[in-house]
Amino acid sequence: MKLQDFIGKDLKYSMDVIAADKELSLQVQSRLIDLGLLEPPADGKFGPISTAALKKFQSRMKINEPAILGPITAEKLIETKPEDLPEPPLQLGDDLASRIIKYMQLKKYQIFQGIRQYNIVYVEGMNADGSLNNDAPNHFNDRRMVIQIVDGVPAIVGNWEGTTEPGSKYTYKPISDYAQKYGAARIKFGQYKAWKVGIHGTSEKHEALVQIGGEITVHRDCNKDFQRVGDKLDTGYFAINQHWGYGAIR
């Protein structure tokens, strides 16, 4: 049986009947994975986790076919695109993840929810517990955090020490002729969609998020004061990658 076979017919399959049909189970699981409601892979074993994902889909789409797979659910599974799936309301508290998401809302940043959806957030001058430090130059005293939101609840699933700024070496002696003339690049605060998985480095090559997906805006620290205030803005591709460095994140 396939989902297409339900369209226009009065078929009603319980979860147990779905589980007994491997072809149908695989198709339903594949669609739920595509919609970000179920972790891959599709294995044809339609158990409690797959059942919960299907019920979540029905709830989000407001489909009145409780505990069954009927023609409406089948049609919506076939036709619904990930971007058309309504997001559950955010459930925000006073924890660090919630406070960061609240700030993202305030700045009108795009927030990603669901399985296999992640928000990568850098915060300057902050410790792992959310307390602030003096954000001194040339130190790994910033954080990179990965926040996942499932069923409206945010959680920090990654929290690393790092730095978002060039150190003393490349501030005083920038690596390129352009940067020597205009100053080292200090990324402008904001939200960017500029990175894709690639390879960083030459002597110690490793997988990283590299700036090949779009432009970013930076402040040019021409006066070498480790500050952004008053610095010229510059937008483009600057090979500013998200990579490791001596056990921390740069």
Peptide bond between residue 48 and the one before it cis (omega within 30 degrees of 0): no
- CATH 1.10.101.10 location in the chain: 3-84
What is the mean pLDDT of each successive set of 10 residues along the chain, which is 250 residues long?
A: 95 96 97 94 95 95 94 97 92 97 96 91 96 95 96 96 92 92 95 95 91 96 95 95 78
Supply 193's token pair.
């969609």
Supply the pLDDT for residue 11: 95
Say which CATH architecture domain 3-84 belongs to: Orthogonal Bundle (1.10)
CA distance 143 to 135: 11
Supply the pLDDT for residue 169: 93
Supply the pLDDT for residue 27: 98
Supply the pLDDT for residue 250: 66
